[in-house]
Structure 1
């Protein structure tokens, strides 16, 4: 699958020496920069469809999280949401040191923004005007049952935890998955009704490019994620919380829990959509994020 490389692509090295692939596009004199953070097992291509629908005059920063996409594998002991938040803070300081920000995160990307608010409150209070949480959660991810009832749901959760342990111990750089089986699994797990075949293939391609041990470690970090209290630091920013009605990984109650902590936010639930809202509802996601930016620039 052909990957697009933006003219503004330039690697960034974090404080602990990890190389991240980052892309900054749009005019340097833009009043606000939209920062897009992707989720677990994916990379910045998560946002391709959304970026295509954003205003061309908008400045956009997106990147591959450590252990994902074109970024380097996460060094041992760094597969934590806290470390992702620090990476984001460092990247912003390097690439967008001044100006107003709107942050948007999908899945683990949303969790990263919550941790950023917790660990870097000065940055958030001083510069962040808007935040978009897309198919994500503020906690209780260890109780996810993949939409399956009773014993089946508990069993699915146990399998997921065992898989994470196996990935942590896996020493190769490529996941041992057959693309056909991976597409079937992804179609059921992260998409809602009637997904586009190319979207499913793109999601799988991103998964197969992620570093196995890194994503195993991050799965454990997701299960420990608890940042509901940290959302208080974002109450002064305009917010939107987007959820798919058929999301198996971050079900609608998780979106409602986030919205409850952000009284000024707008909760939008998309019927028939699953976890991959940036692909399944790209136009609607782009509209919501553009509105957050436009409120600041007008």
Structure 2
């Protein structure tokens, strides 16, 4: 398949990529789902390694990257249905799932409402409820007033430790550049989905094996949030790795090893 492809839906287009090495051409599928304000390139370090073992599918959430922006606001169900539409279009009956932050919250919705479409689920730097209505309303207002570029300094502090920002400034800058370019309406539409989402009672219905992974210095979704998920799904385990919110980049080698070990166990 080509590097870049698009799924045309009634109100928007989803940009996606498929990657696998020849030896993995009949291997299980692995779907990656991004955090708020990032595009599919946040998984580059994982794709290089995991494409040796899986058929890897990445996509840009609506309003992010090269995907287009339908009229906001959005709901968590809208985001989950985008994922299912992509699986349907590619005729993927079942896949492993890995999502971070809002991607992990989308994964929880999928586990509750479409668990039969997935095998193992990896939920990273997320929570069954992220933030409050008030905090997300304030974020939406700030983006409307000043745009996303004005939030890059605070975002860098939330996403990466000072050590990573200093020693891997090029990686951090690339991710933050993508953040600043996200469509403001698409970003705020997803903030509205986060404001309304509360799955704390519903995740007990998730029967898929779940690995919840936290960043040990993540102040957005601290380890206690991931421990809650692991303890409230039917079969869950919690692991913490060094880093803040985007620890799949900060601890890429350790993350890849833990992910591969869980998916192949």
Q: TM-score, normalised by structure 1?
A: 0.79
Match of 1:286 among 238, 256, 263: 256
1:250 matches 2:231 = no
Root-mean-square deviation (CA, aligned residues, Å) is 2.4
> C-alpha separation between the residues in 2 aligned to 1:40 and 1:108?
6
The whole-number CA distance in structure 2 between the counterparts of 1:187 and 1:228 is 28
Task: Tell me by how many angstroms 1:80 deviates.
Answer: 1.8
- 1:10 corresponds in structure 2 to 5
Contact 1:169 1:213 in 2 (8 A): no
Distance across 1 between alignment mates of 2:204 and 2:12: 30
d(CA) in 1 for partners of 2:32, 2:253: 15
Question: Structure 1 residue 193: deviation in Å?
Answer: 4.4
Q: Which string of whole-angstrom CA distances, capped at 9 and with x for unpartnered residues, describes residues 64-104 of structure 1?
A: 00000110013234x22110000001101111433x41101
Is the counterpart of residue 163 in structure 1 residue 133 in structure 2?
Answer: no
Residue of structure 1 in register with 2:157 after alignment: 188
Aligned partner (choices 188, 191, 211) of residue 183 of structure 2: 211
Contact 1:186–1:200 at 8 Å: present in 2 too?
Answer: no
Q: Which of residues 210, 231, 239 in structure 2 aligns to 1:260?
A: 231
Q: Which runs of 5+ in 1 are unaligned?
A: 1-5, 144-156
Change (3 A) 1:188 1:62: same
Tell me the secondary structure at the aligned position of residue 194 of structure 1.
Answer: helix
Question: 1:43, 1:274 → 2: CA distance?
Answer: 18
Whether the aligned pair in 2 keeps the contact of 1:193 and 1:274 (CA below 8 Å) is no
1:269 corresponds to: 240
Spell out the pairing of 1:2-151 with structure 2 (5 A cutoff): 7-14=2-9, 16-26=10-20, 29-77=25-73, 79-98=74-93, 100-119=94-113, 121=114, 124-125=115-116, 127-142=117-132
Say which SS state the counterpart of residue 285 (structure 1) adopts.
Answer: helix
Count of aligned pairs: 260
Q: Distance in 1 between matches of 2:130 and 2:101?
A: 13
* 3-state secondary structure, aligned to 1:31: coil
Larger radius of gyration: 1
Q: CA deviation at 1:49?
A: 1.2
Contact 2:130 2:221 in 1 (8 A): no
Q: Alpha-carbon deviation of 1:166?
A: 4.6
Q: What CA distance in whole angstroms lies between the structure 2 residues aligned with 1:24 and 1:74?
A: 24
Could you list the structure 1 runs, at least 4 aligned residues long, displaced by more than 6 angstroms after superposition.
none
Secondary structure at the counterpart of residue 53 of structure 1? helix
Aligned CA distance change for structure 1 residues 263 and 234 (closer, same or farther; 3 Å): closer
Distance 1:176 1:38 in 2: 17
Residue 93 to residue 115, structure 1, CA distance change in 2 (3 Å)? same
CA contact 1:13–1:20 (8 Å) conserved in 2: yes
In structure 2, the CA distance between the partners of 1:76 and 1:55, relative to structure 1 (3 Å rule), is closer
TM-score, length of structure 2 as denominator length:
0.88
